[in-house]
Amino acid sequence: MSALPPHALRRLRIIIPFLLTGMIWGSTWWVITDQIDGVAPSWSVAIRFAVATPAMFLVAKLMGKSLRIGKAGQMLALAVGVAQFCGNFNFVYRSELHLTSGIVAVMFTMLIVANAGLGWLVLGQRITRNFVLGTCVAMSGIALLLWHEAGLNPLGGSIPLGIFWAVIGILAASIANVIQANETGRALPMVSLLAWAMLYGTIADFVLAWVTAGPPVLPTRASFWLGIGWLALAGSVVTFPLHYTLVREIGAGRAAYNGIVVVIVAMLLSTLFEGYRWNVLTVSGAVLAVIGLVIALRAREAPSKQTA
């Protein structure tokens, strides 16, 4: 696949889904905090994708996409579903038991680091020196934010445990990102692959929830169900097809720039609704994280241009 020219990022068919996914995903980090308030995280995830899965199948049907993806496609969907829609989300929800949503969102900008590492191991993609430099800068910024978080710990949880769950969640998401970019995945309609992946992920979610938390205890508060609707429909059915289509069209490096939009929205909501307080340490950390991310992503584009 040839790389698009830089001005391609200014085309409406690119910039609109780019900004839309960033803004929606930025909001989902805060919504998750209510989803885990008195509800087992695994059941919250299971209910979310129980709603999202039939909606994704409906989208594929309305778009006229075939749901017959073959044996290889089903195996890929199974792997993506377990990694992305079970592992990743279960780890993320558990992370937010211990860290504010904005901090977890900042940590997830480092998904590009995991993608690069797995891309090198699995796909043979080269990692540049500037990418390593940018990664180090970004990680130093995240370290400052986590240092500040450890001093406050407003949720009364365990900072190391929150970091652990976030890191495992990043790895699970990265596995899904990398394996869906193989030849089998590129040959399939995105919405069809995602529909089956969500189905398999939902089945795994229900098994995990029942084993770890027992029978479901469904909350009655309206905010939980409104949040489920937003996370399932806007945060899953709308955004995942848009994002993975962007990955196919402009490459993983450029598509990951929406992580900057995600962080801005997530930190703003965390400040407004979770009482997050900014000081010199946190501002410095956020600035370093964003600068490092930009350096890393700009460096990540180089190999694709050379092989275009």
CB 236 within 8 Å of CB 198: yes
Rounded distance between C-alpha atoms, residue 242 and residue 230, angstroms = 16
Higher pLDDT, 300 or 166: 166
Q: pLDDT tens across 27-44, in order?
A: 888 899 889 988 999 999
Write down the pLDDT at residue 143: 79
Residues 6 or more apart whose CB falls under 8 angstroms from that of 36 comprise 44, 93, 96, 97
Write down the pLDDT at residue 152: 59
Number of neighbours of residue 253 by Cβ within 10 angstroms = 24
Query: How many residues would you count in the chain?
Result: 308
pLDDT of 56 higher than 60: yes
Q: pLDDT tens across 218-229, in order?
A: 888 999 999 999
Using 50, 70 and 90 to split pLDDT, how confident is the model at 254? low
Higher pLDDT, 240 or 55: 55
Write down the pLDDT at residue 58: 96
Q: pLDDT tens across 61-94, in order?
A: 999 999 999 999 999 999 999 999 999 999 999 9
Rounded distance between C-alpha atoms, residue 168 and residue 218, angstroms = 27
Q: pLDDT tens across 161-219, in order?
A: 888 999 999 999 989 988 887 788 888 998 999 999 999 999 999 999 999 999 998 88
**Mean pLDDT, residues 231-243:** 91
Using 50, 70 and 90 to split pLDDT, how confident is the model at 298? low
User: If we measure between CA atoms, which residue out of 265, 271, 268 comes closest to residue 26?
Assistant: 265
Q: What is the pTM of this model?
A: 0.80
Write down the pLDDT at residue 297: 60
3-state percent breakdown (helix, strand, coil) of the chain, nearest 5: 80, 0, 20
